[in-house]
Structure 1
Amino acid sequence: MLRKTLTASLFVLTAAAAGAQDRTPLDAFVDGFPIELEKETREADYNELFRGGDPSAYFNVRTSEFFPTAILPSRQGVMPLASNPMPEIGEIKSELPSESKLDGPLTLNEFLEKSEFAQAYLVVHKGEIVYEKYPRIRPEDHHLWMSSAKPMASLVIDQLISERKIDENAPITTYLTDFQGTPWDGVTTKDVMDMASGMDLEDTSESRFDPDNIARRVYEAEFGFPNETRGVEKLRDVLRSTPKREEPGQAFHYASGLTQMLVILAEEVENDRWAQIFDRRVWSKVGAEGVLQIHLTPDGIAAAHGLVSSNLRDFARFGMLYTPSWNKIATEQVVTDEILARIHDGVRSHEFMMAGFDGPVFADYLGSNDFIANSRQWDILWPDGDMWKGGLMTQGLYVSPSRDLVIVYFNVNNDDHSGHRYPRAIATSGLFDK
């Protein structure tokens, strides 16, 4: 029952709001969950699990109870973050989206106080915590990053590109030889990194419910749930069978299956499992406060497109790897200047971004479309070099390398994305331009 529930639930990025208003206030769960909710979560259907209600609250912080999980501890000991509070951050205002049940504009402090679903918010500037609030979660709690985890996969691939183990402009089938002779021929690693593959596996509200669509079959294969017409499939076989939609590079077509192609690519090149690769190359250099949890499919494939958990400060530490203050939390510069330049120099056009299903969706989340486009698994890059990656139920990672700024946040809501409206307002407030 659980396998079926989790598989189906991943097909839904926008869930019905009906019933969400009847949920228990998240404050009630800060010190733990009633046993009845644990049972309810295991029996929940996909709407209940990811629509932002009580089962969602449980699942977001207790994912390791439902999946095999690779545990990546800190190998460096804790490299603590200094504190230098800037109360003025809490006074920054933002307009809220039309679907919000709150009357805006609201300051960040007001939003965190009045929202039923905002769990935590953290701002780090020059390696120091300047704003930190946990209105509906404990600081030590692990929480899903959801799709905000996708840059983890692109970082590993970029390291392999820098080491000349991968040519990003060569067909990905150069390395995945069992994909040769399929429509993947001619799709480059860069196309996959930028979600510009032209392959027909885009995540949309329709594709996740179509049993013949690759997007749905990817999730079914990941969790061992039988497709209603094909039975149980293997993820690699499903990805290999993806049909071509158009020539690569035409439009931004967001797909978690593409992130999983990067996982498979890294494993092929390194002859190792992805969680161990990421640990060796990245996380073993980080002085984290807690463990990093990478949740796995039944056959051990890392679901690096979103099923990754940590506490909020360690989420921020990942973002800090892209800033000048990387040395405050890591022993090596794992995001090199070359990798950072590659992210910024290879950005495609705004028209490319908006031609896909999710370009306009992200513009609505952020309340503006003044960005350029996506790049290398980051959803948004702005002209000033700032980067943002969002995740299901309004998780977020915002990095401003030029301002040495990182903003991370956890929420449990899938019908109100107000939490995404604040990072850009904070970054461009002038507080960090000195």
Structure 2
Amino acid sequence: MQAHLKTPSAQDTARLRSQVSVPKLLECGDVAHWWCTHIAEVMPTAVIPSAQAAAPLPVAKNDALLDVQADTALGHLSLRDFLAHPESGARGFLVVHKGQIVCEEYPDLRPDQPHLWASCAKPMAGLMIEHLIEAGQLSEQDTLGQHIAALRETDWAEVRVIDVLDMTPGMDCEENEATRSDPRSNAIRAFLAEFNMPYEGRVESLLEVLQSSRKVSEPGRKFEYGSPCTQVLVLLAEAVSGLPWAELFRQQVWAHLRTEGPLQMHLTPDGTPLAHGVVSSTLRDMARFAMLYTPSWNKVAAQLVVSADTLARIRAVARGKAFFQAGYDGPVFTERLGDDTMLGNARQWDCIWPDGDLYKGGFMDQGLYASPERDFVICYFSTTPEMKTTRYLRPLATSGLLG
């Protein structure tokens, strides 16, 4: 399915570009719809190329996947009908099984268009920390103050690396319904800084916002989802490696992937990579990244990027289900997925199941799902305020069609 896409006129493009702001993006309307595929036109961007020749993904369509049913906010629908529904917000949907494309639909996107990953990018930041741990340059039990001079005199100083990876820092940077609606919250202040917008009459840097965060509880008590946590991992990776984050990611990951295009890493006004989610690529290249966590990694990469030890640490889910459900987001993810069988979250991934499957979701309903055991990935792009597509993930995974 490929919809006929209308290209905005020059006048419409100028109007949409001029209106890009945090409040407009949170509306998930026409400004957000345009911005998701044109971020490099409004934000500084590091373009991260691959060093490999592109490796086309062979196509072996399995239309039975489109017949999988789920209960969604739009009713009980097949995936086929959901993707075609005018209120789904779906833009692109892709399933790769054992290195072959078995389902690929573009209701509202060109296949060659880069699109926002949103928080599906967070495992990128986690992966850089895993590489530094395996290189012996960092321990997950280290404190941030041991490595990040800019946070040494702040409440972040005594927070352990593992508590940032697992999003349980005990800091006032959590994203939830209350903080997203509070213009004075650190979560909103961070977004304003990223978009060069003033807070109380002054444009802050993202680092200033992070430095102003305060301890509100003991780390490790509950899942406290927050993009500032991921940005702290960016500072950590740069401090330990001595490299700009985009260059580190290029060397460790993207240079080895046989992608169709570059990764676009969008930056704050002062050049900080927004690895928590302001990242763009084509849908197929997003799937190639997800495939690094499966046995088919060698079909898209020149060398192993996600080690067996890294995968084992993620899938161990050391904190457990009680920790996951104690916070705000655990119950939210359970309802969103229509499933409560996950073990919990871990190391920048939202949910891990007993069968070892991994899920990461993102703002405006972006999705990245990887199944190491069954060797498939599901990736999708959307522009909608509701996370609707998630309801198809576990039904697809457990359908027997991807065994």
TM-score (norm 2): 0.95
Please name the residue that 1:234 is paired with.
Answer: 205
Shift of 1:250: 0.3
Shift of 1:209: 4.4
What is the CA deviation profile of residues 307-342 of structure 1, one whole-angstrom value per residue up to 9, with x for unaligned ones? Answer: 100111000000000000000000010101011011
Please name the residue that 2:43 is paired with.
Answer: 67
Q: Which amino acid aligns with 2:12?
A: L
Shift of 1:411: 0.8
Contact kept, 8 Å, 1:142 with 1:312, in 2: the verdict is yes
Q: Which amino acid aligns with 1:358?
A: D
Q: Which amino acid aligns with 2:171?
A: M
Task: State the distance in 2 between where 1:31 and 1:210 align.
Answer: 36
What is the CA deviation profile of residues 362-388 of structure 1, one whole-angstrom value per residue up to 9, with x for unaligned ones? Answer: 122111222111111111111111110
Q: Which of the residues 374, 381, 392 maps onto 2:363?
A: 392
Task: State the distance in 1 between where 2:400 and 2:345 align.
Answer: 24
Q: Which amino acid aligns with 1:180?
A: R
Q: Which amino acid aligns with 2:251?
A: R
Task: State the distance in 1 between where 2:110 and 2:206 align.
Answer: 35
Contact kept, 8 Å, 1:41 with 1:49, in 2: the verdict is no
Contact kept, 8 Å, 2:22 with 2:195, in 1: the verdict is no
Q: Which of the residues 143, 149, 154 maps onto 1:182?
A: 154
Task: State the distance in 2 between where 1:180 and 1:71 align.
Answer: 31
**Equivalent runs, 1:397-416 vs 2, <5 Å:** 397-414=368-385, 416=386
2:189 corresponds to 1:213 = no
Contact kept, 8 Å, 2:317 with 2:344, in 1: the verdict is no
Runs of 4+ aligned structure 1 residues displaced above 6 Å come to: none
Please name the residue that 1:137 is paired with.
Answer: 109
Task: State the distance in 2 between where 1:417 and 1:235 align.
Answer: 27
Task: State the distance in 2 between where 1:215 and 1:47 align.
Answer: 13
**Equivalent runs, 1:163-182 vs 2, <5 Å:** 163-182=135-154
Contact kept, 8 Å, 2:163 with 2:219, in 1: the verdict is yes
Residue 346 to residue 308, structure 1, CA distance change in 2 (3 Å) = same
Q: Which of the residues 2, 8, 13 maps onto 1:38?
A: 13
Greater mean deviation of Cα atoms: 176-185 or 388-397: 176-185
Q: Which of the residues 192, 196, 207 maps onto 1:224?
A: 196
Q: Which of the residues 328, 331, 342 maps onto 1:357?
A: 328
Shift of 1:33: 1.6
**Equivalent runs, 1:420-431 vs 2, <5 Å:** 420-431=390-401
Task: State the distance in 2 between where 1:143 and 1:266 align.
Answer: 25
Number of aligned residue pairs: give it. Answer: 400
Greater mean deviation of Cα atoms: 231-240 or 170-179: 231-240
What is the CA deviation profile of residues 170-225 of structure 1, one whole-angstrom value per residue up to 9, with x for unaligned ones? Answer: 21211113423432233111100000111111112332343543222222333333
- DSSP-derived class of the 2:36 partner: helix
Q: Which of the residues 263, 271, 275 maps onto 1:300?
A: 271
Shift of 1:53: 2.3
Q: Which of the residues 380, 388, 393 maps onto 1:418?
A: 388
Shift of 1:241: 2.3
Q: Give ranges in structure 1 of 5+ residues lacking alignment.
A: 1-25
2:64 corresponds to 1:88 = yes
- DSSP-derived class of the 2:177 partner: coil
2:265 corresponds to 1:261 = no
- DSSP-derived class of the 1:217 partner: helix
What is the CA deviation profile of residues 124-164 of structure 1, one whole-angstrom value per residue up to 9, with x for unaligned ones? Answer: 01111111111211111110001111100000110000111
TM-score (norm 1): 0.88
Please name the residue that 1:20 is paired with.
Answer: none
Task: State the distance in 2 between where 1:114 and 1:211 align.
Answer: 34
- DSSP-derived class of the 1:105 partner: strand
2:125 corresponds to 1:150 = no
Greater mean deviation of Cα atoms: 359-368 or 421-430: 359-368
Shift of 1:242: 1.2
Q: Give ranges in structure 2 of 5+ residues lacking alignment.
A: none
Greater mean deviation of Cα atoms: 318-327 or 34-43: 34-43
Contact kept, 8 Å, 1:27 with 1:135, in 2: the verdict is yes
Task: State the distance in 2 between where 1:47 and 1:157 align.
Answer: 32
